[in-house]
């Protein structure tokens, strides 16, 4: 494996990590909003 392959894998890993983080934040924000609306 050359350096370009490692760089591509690194970007792919960071991209997946970013997507997972965004998905978790998005879902938790929706859940929190639903909880606040349910209290009213």
- List pLDDT tens digits, range 1-40: 788 889 999 999 999 999 999 999 999 999 999 999 988 7
What is the model's pTM?
0.63
Identify the pLDDT of residue 17. 98
Q: How far is CA 25 from CA 1, 3, 7, 20, in A?
A: 35, 33, 27, 9
Q: What is the DSSP letter of 1?
A: -
Identify the pLDDT of residue 7. 93
Residue indicated by tokens 């350096």: 3
């Amino acid at each position: 494996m050359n350096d370009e392959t490692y760089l591509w894998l690194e970007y792919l890993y960071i991209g997946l990590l970013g997507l997972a983080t965004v998905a978790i934040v998005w879902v938790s924000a929706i859940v929190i909003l639903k909880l606040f609306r349910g209290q009213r």
